[in-house]
Structure 1
């Protein structure tokens, strides 16, 4: 395949999650290897993904990934200064093009277990179509259409017009759910970002947007996973 058209999945798994210790690799819903195993199986099964780069400074993540011995997978033993609690996403973004130097990058996370190989295939197809429409990148979002406030007051509607409008008449907002970001290596280098300046927002159903960030999220996702089996 022409390298310019290759899709490489980037899967960051840093060591030392503060909110959910060992969340990448701890057993999930009775599955040894947990969220990492689930996500790698999904990415491997997606035929539109050519390569998978697993980047981690956690020996357990690296060891489990290596045990799969799959030809799609490249392991990056990330330096600790790029995998600490103080490492910013911006720093990691600048690092990615040193690992992937051509084609397009699909950045995803183990913490989105309900996005499967079929979802990734569809997203890549939507990305291809979006490029033809003038967009330069793609990211998944959850539509939020309701009474959204900050500490200063409402931000999704105007109470001077109606104090309690029907929610279906409120203009929707979109929460980035961290499910997937697809962009070219060129955009990473140009913008120092995992999206370009004209991203296509792909709305996901609520279950696909589940992002495991807090202990309650982990428990909820486990229960939902077992219920969907």
Structure 2
């Protein structure tokens, strides 16, 4: 059976939403706890690990026996550090500690609390289905209002196409169907992690998720909307 390492990256120091990853969310929970519980409920996942620079988080979750807690060095913990850095750090520690060679590494960011277990399993299954791909990632359909063909720049007061003229393509069915990563689920083949420049590699396949499960919390308005939908669900 393939061995999958699921990483929950939860650093401190959020600027736009203070204490975002441990801020109370939903009914008596927080974003980090929700991500951990989602990962622990997936039988295909071999190891679930929290990687964080926050002592508060390490203490908060240290008693969960099924969870590996990793103290992340400061130099790979700021908002400019690439994800590949903490992935390599976690792999080096855990493969040595647990004497395991993982086949895949998964990232489940706490900022996507509306993702379901079926989204995690679906992305894993998609990865298995495509042996030619380096990674599988969750995506969402781009709303027609945000379609690049509709984007403009302002030249003084004049609207000028940013990419190309709309040429009368105003209706939804006249525009190309586009997708964007929603940051909810990433899974990558382990064997290439040491040489990739990012966690996606060169070839990725996409697992579509609906917009109502695709909120990625970056601003306070995202937090409020996600919490409303989470409580409603």
**Per the shorter chain, which TM-score range?**
0.7 to 0.9
Candidates 36, 43, 46, aligned match of 1:40: 36
1:49 aligns with 2:49: no
Candidates 60, 65, 74, aligned match of 1:70: 65
Q: In the aligned structure 2, how far is the partner of 1:43 from the partner of 1:121?
A: 10
For the residue of structure 1 that corresponds to 2:5, the secondary structure is strand
- For residues 127-166 of structure 1, what are the structure 2 equivalents within 5 Å? 127-131=127-131, 134-146=132-144, 147-148=147-148, 149=151, 151=153, 153-155=161-163, 158-159=165-166, 162-166=167-171
- Please identify, of 176-185 and 164-173, the stretch whose mean Cα deviation from structure 2 is larger: 164-173
1:60 aligns with 2:60: no
Shift of 1:165: 3.1
Shift of 1:61: 1.2
Q: Identify the residue that residue 221 of structure 2 maps to in structure 1.
A: 216
Q: In the aligned structure 2, how far is the partner of 1:150 from the partner of 1:187?
A: 39
Shift of 1:93: 4.8
For the residue of structure 2 that corresponds to 1:118, the secondary structure is helix
For the residue of structure 2 that corresponds to 1:47, the secondary structure is coil
Deviations 1:79-119 (A, max 9, x none): 11211244344544554542455310111101111112222
Runs of 5+ in structure 1 lacking a partner? none
TM-score (structure 1 length as normaliser): 0.86
Q: Identify the residue that residue 108 of structure 1 maps to in structure 2.
A: 108
- Asked whether the 8 Å contact 1:138–1:199 carries over to 2, the reply is yes
Shift of 1:175: 1.3
- Asked whether the 8 Å contact 1:108–1:179 carries over to 2, the reply is yes
Shift of 1:150: 5.1
For the residue of structure 2 that corresponds to 1:191, the secondary structure is coil
- Asked whether the 8 Å contact 1:141–1:201 carries over to 2, the reply is yes
Q: Identify the residue that residue 156 of structure 2 maps to in structure 1.
A: none
- Give me the CA root mean square deviation: 2.0
Shift of 1:7: 0.8
What is the aligned residue count? 217
Shift of 1:154: 4.5
Shift of 1:44: 0.6
Shift of 1:215: 0.4
Runs of 5+ in structure 2 lacking a partner? 96-101, 154-159
Q: Identify the residue that residue 99 of structure 2 maps to in structure 1.
A: none
- For residues 116-131 of structure 1, what are the structure 2 equivalents within 5 Å? 116-131=116-131
Q: In the aligned structure 2, how far is the partner of 1:153 from the partner of 1:91?
A: 38
- Asked whether the 8 Å contact 1:145–1:168 carries over to 2, the reply is no
Deviations 1:101-147 (A, max 9, x none): 5310111101111112222122211211122xx32311111111524
Q: Which stretches of structure 1, 4 residues or longer, exceed 6 Å deviation after superposition?
A: none
